[in-house]
Amino acid sequence: MSNEDVGAGKVSADISIVTTIPAAHDARERLNDAVLMVMRTYAPKYRTDWQDNWTGWKYAGRPAQAPRLVSHDAWAATASPTTEGAQLVVRNNARDWRTGTRDYSSYVHRSGSQTPEWMIVKARQVEGIDSEFVDAISAAVLEGLGPRTRRKVGDQRGTSGSVQTGATVVF
């Protein structure tokens, strides 16, 4: 069909082109989901990083039969959604080996030091944040800002086309 056919009245069509912008909450949700997926991928690595830095304990004064590596093995990392966005949480809920009830890891420190070891490890971790992780988050954000996947749409007369949410209609 040529432009001449349309101009000569041989073809008639109504045309509507609609461009939509996702609501702010929709865009935020997409970004959070994308970032959350990356955080879930990296959570095990960060758990291992904390464990690798939580070593070298002397266990001075602890009976030989007392458990070892209690706080080392208690490190966990989880990624989860929040009302503010996605978050990656590294935690240690180790309990005192003597009572099994009192929190423990927040008091652990090297002999001769008053600084809790978690503060030292945290400083190391923040300083050495993996550039691969930052790049993955950046890529997820850019991807989350892009158009959604194509889906079929139609109107009341049965015509259909393909649209990308947040983009122009494509026929």
E runs forming strands in the chain: 75-81, 86-92, 150-154, 160-164, 169-170
Q: Per-residue pLDDT for 114 more than 70?
A: yes
Whether residue 65 lies inside any domain: the answer is yes
Whether residue 27 lies inside any domain: the answer is yes
Whose CA is closest to 75, among 100, 104, 101?
104
Whether residue 16 lies inside any domain: the answer is no
- When mean pLDDT is compared across 12-16, 39-43, 94-98, 115-119, the lowest value belongs to 12-16
Whether residue 51 lies inside any domain: the answer is yes
Q: What is the pLDDT of residue 44?
A: 94
Q: What is the pLDDT of residue 48?
A: 93
Q: Are 40 and 158 in contact (CB under 8 A)?
A: no
**What is the Cα–Cα distance from 32 to 38, expressed in whole angstroms?**
10
Whether residue 78 lies inside any domain: the answer is yes
The percentage of residues in the chain with a pLDDT greater than 70, rounded to a whole number, is 69
Strands 160-164 and 150-154: what pairing?
antiparallel
Whose CA is closest to 127, among 55, 53, 71?
53
Q: Per-residue pLDDT for 63 more than 60?
A: yes
**What is the Cα–Cα distance from 160 to 87, expressed in whole angstroms?**
41
Residue 129 domain boundaries: 21-170
Q: List pLDDT tens digits, range 116-168.
A: 888 888 888 877 777 888 899 889 888 877 665 544 445 445 544 443 433 33
Sign of CA dihedral 77, 78, 79, 84: negative
- For the chain, the residue count is 171
Domain count of the fold of the chain: 1
Residues 6+ apart with CB under 8 A from 47: 75, 76, 77, 90
Whether residue 15 lies inside any domain: the answer is no
Whether residue 11 lies inside any domain: the answer is no
**What is the Cα–Cα distance from 34 to 141, expressed in whole angstroms?**
7
**What is the Cα–Cα distance from 92 to 107, expressed in whole angstroms?**
11
Sign of CA dihedral 149, 150, 152, 153: positive
Structure tokens at 8: 């000569």
Whether residue 39 lies inside any domain: the answer is yes
